[in-house]
Structure 1
Amino acid sequence: MADRPPTGPHAGRRRVTRALVGGAAVLAAGGASAWYGLAGRSHAAGDPAGVGPVTLATGRDTTHYLGGLLADWNAEHPDQPAELVELPAAADEVHAQLAGELSAGGSRFDVLNIDVVWTAEFAARRWTAALDEAEFALDGLLPPVVGTGRYDGRLYAVPFVANAALLYYRSDVLDAAGEQPPTTWDELARQARTLAPAHGLGGYAGQLSPYEGLAVNALEAIRSAGGDLLAGDGSVVVDSPQARAGLEFLAGGVRDGWIPPEVLGYQEEESRAAFERGGLLFLRNWPYVYHEVATAGSPVAGRFGVVPLPGPHGPGSGVLGGSGLAVSRFSRHQRTARALIGYLTSRKAQSRVLTDGGLPPVRADLYTDPELTARFPYLPVLRTAILAAGARPGVPQYQQLSLAFSESAFEVVSGRRSAGVALPRLAADLRAIVG
């Protein structure tokens, strides 16, 4: 997942992209059922009432909070115990293992903790069961996150963890200069260009290595400038002056030096480490970084703050991250699976997602809870960021789209091509992918 530490090397990207574009064209021409191969398949036989033991499949629980949540569930439901199945930490490996099991119609997994960008793919492949929205307390969730669980007008995943990026800044440096955190791109660039060198710091880092993280960084810049990848009707609109302006802002930062050249190799953890050791004035990253950087012993603990991402003329546009809980269509105990999702998205469980797991909850009232905001002072800023953020394109072919987009974005930010040259080619690739 792009909002957690990183996925792996990305060699041979143009060859892979062209192959995926071709596969997506087959999907567009031949129809979903021909490509997915699962249309009409029934779920595995089980208890007619749909009640019994279930498993929760998730990427590695690096903060060890899920075990406690499931222990509480199991104490209250001894005849419907939930078992945690931890998959690898890397998102692409999680996707591969879930896809392998579900494409074979396997019933090993009941509840799936999936990245929000997988919702459409898993639903279109008929791997996940449609859910009755009335069964879940969706009105208590942050409004933007609810849409990440829908595909083709139906709910397929209940939001579990929210996420939107923040701008981390060195408060001691800005205070010494008598300056406020930037609210526009011009202010960000000026401070990164002038204040950072005076303190021996790099100006700004995001995640500009060619992977999903760059796709998110680039989409934030494009949307902040008023552009997008796809329109609401699914048509490709990336070849626009606004999209060019967004990418050229990042490319200009690299070219002018206030984005250090090593940032072109940064994913989430490399950029976090650079900020935490005191090497950067500004950092774009996810909320999990706050806990790491605020820890006693961190070189910048007590000397940083967070604000929403800036844009060209004011607040920028973030991109929603996080995950949702879906029910495998092949689960033998779907009634219990749905009940477990209801429990995991309850206020009590969501509070522990934050306090025990350090992850942003989806329930809106937790962001204004006095006890929680005292303990997690970034919550009001994060709430603002989430409410202003938008989802990534909700298309079944998102994996292919992201690969093509991150590759083109890297060509631009690294200075290999101008946005004016790269974006028409990207637009052609995206049309082949989404049809």
Structure 2
Amino acid sequence: MNVFPGGRHRAACALALTTVLALTVSACGDDGSGAAGDKGGEGSGKGEITFWDNNGGVRTDIWKEIIADFEKAHPGITVTYVGIASKEVQSKYDTAIQGGGLPDVGGVGAAMLAGIAAQNALEPLDARLEASPLKGKLNEGMVENVRSAGGQGKLFTVPTSANNGVLYYRTDLFRAAGLKEPSTWSAFHTAAERLTDRQRNRFGYTIRGGAGSVAQALDAMYGQSGITSFWKGDRTTVNDPANVAALERYAGLFKRTTPAADVNNDFTKMVAQWDSGEIGMLNHNLGSYQDHVKALGTGKFRGIPNPTKDDGTRVQVSNPVDGLGLFSSSRNKAAAWKFIEYAASHEANSKWNRSAGAIPSNTEAAKDAWIQESEPTRLAAEALFSGRTRIVQLPYHLPDWNTISKAGNEPAFQKVLLGTMSAKDFLDSLAEQLNEAQAEWKSLGR
């Protein structure tokens, strides 16, 4: 999406969408197609349900293992697994909301939650959780994160995991260069310069220029500027002069201390490049830890929380909590809820998060021994819940946020890397879109 043409245009689109949905629902009747607006039903608590994995291909194996365990514990329920790549899941949900074919249960990250919930596609889960064995066993911070992200004060997903920004660095390369751990941004920039030898195809850093680049750039930007709030009143701080200067420094690493191919790299290409090459540092999250272990072993790298400012202040943007949503159109909500309960239970939640290297939502799972054994996860959890890290909450409550931060601005950020757009112009444009979206959201009485 490009710069928003205005509130009237979005209002007209919303009206058109509402009309389409109404026609779709009336046409579908009770054929099980699952369109938004279809109220579905509780069902018998047995039979078949469909589950959409929002990170298909990456987490397919562990989900299939959990599904097999669930079906063994609930022999009357069969779960059909559908894996959808993370970069495609938003459009898949949007298409199914308009035309039918929604699953019973689906993975819904906080970044896209408000947009899906605004179309009445998700069942509020507050009452179900209140009556569930899960009550009191989910991390309160994650529950509040997804409640806030839904934009309506309701719980539209049961949180399953929290991710966190991690700076992975090659300990062998740092030792050889006599460099200290990049625990501060100053040390980070020094290392990026010192480890770069373009003639030998060695680089200090790999930057994300493809899909997912904007959120990562914002993390580095706020981390270096030290600004601790995304909003100042109802105006965003993204184009604050301190943030402009921080983004200029971050984007200035491109091609100077990074490979030129980074301009198109999404996380899979970036991670593969770091694992196989002579690159000193990589910003990603906990999800790629096992990939690094497979490629490098545990003796050649570490994963630490994002750097601090020189005074020890650590600022990071909120990472979207992942969760499982129950779709309103499901004809078998009772069985679907049983699957969600099982996936968020101690054993299954621990198993999934151990595979992903993420922080469990289940408080019992969060005490399991493997977290202490996985250094990046342990350090991330300590930083996240220490009370000393300042979290900049991204505006997940805005239905437009996921589109603004992805399709609308990833190509523009590539222009910043290539030097055809200034960091100031990029952030001013982003701020204009965000301020307009916030004003429209406020006008609805939120």
Q: Percent same amino acid among aligned pairs?
A: 24
The 8 Å contact of residues 166 and 284 in structure 2, kept in 1 or not, is answered as: yes
The 8 Å contact of residues 170 and 303 in structure 1, kept in 2 or not, is answered as: yes
Shift of 1:49: 6.2
Q: TM-score, normalised by structure 1?
A: 0.82
Residue 384 (structure 1) aligned to one of 382, 385, 388: 382
Equivalences for 1:5-404 in 2 at 5 Å?
16-18=1-3, 21-22=4-5, 25-27=8-10, 29=11, 35-37=17-19, 38=21, 43-46=38-41, 52-59=47-54, 60-63=56-59, 64-79=61-76, 81-89=77-85, 91-106=86-101, 109-132=103-126, 133-135=129-131, 137=134, 139-150=136-147, 151=150, 152-197=152-197, 201-209=202-210, 211=211, 213-224=212-223, 225-227=225-227, 230-231=230-231, 235-254=235-254, 257-295=256-294, 298=295, 302-313=299-310, 314=312, 315-356=314-355, 359-374=358-373, 376-387=374-385, 388=389, 391-394=393-396, 395-402=398-405, 403-404=407-408
Residue 426 (structure 2) aligned to one of 406, 419, 422: 422
Partner Cα separation in structure 2 for residue 390 and residue 334 of structure 1: 35
C-alpha distance 17-385 of structure 1, shift in aligned 2 (>3 A) = farther
Unaligned runs of 5+ in 1: 1-15
**What value does the CA root-mean-square deviation take over the aligned residues?**
3.1
The 8 Å contact of residues 358 and 377 in structure 2, kept in 1 or not, is answered as: no
C-alpha distance 164-277 of structure 1, shift in aligned 2 (>3 A) = same
The 8 Å contact of residues 161 and 322 in structure 1, kept in 2 or not, is answered as: yes
The 8 Å contact of residues 205 and 260 in structure 1, kept in 2 or not, is answered as: yes
Partner Cα separation in structure 2 for residue 69 and residue 379 of structure 1: 21
The 8 Å contact of residues 169 and 306 in structure 1, kept in 2 or not, is answered as: yes
C-alpha distance 201-364 of structure 1, shift in aligned 2 (>3 A) = farther
Unaligned runs of 5+ in 2: 26-35, 441-446
Q: Tell me, what secondary structure is at the counterpart of 1:281?
A: strand
C-alpha distance 201-36 of structure 1, shift in aligned 2 (>3 A) = farther
* Structure 1 consecutive aligned stretches of length 4 or more whose deviation exceeds 6 Å: none
Partner Cα separation in structure 1 for residue 248 and residue 18 of structure 2: 38
Amino acid at match of 1:303: K
Shift of 1:36: 4.3
Q: Tell me, what secondary structure is at the counterpart of 2:5?
A: helix
Matched residue, 1:6: none
The 8 Å contact of residues 189 and 258 in structure 1, kept in 2 or not, is answered as: no
Shift of 1:247: 1.1
The 8 Å contact of residues 315 and 392 in structure 2, kept in 1 or not, is answered as: no
Q: How many residues align?
A: 408
Q: Tell me, what secondary structure is at the counterpart of 1:208?
A: coil
The 8 Å contact of residues 43 and 332 in structure 1, kept in 2 or not, is answered as: no
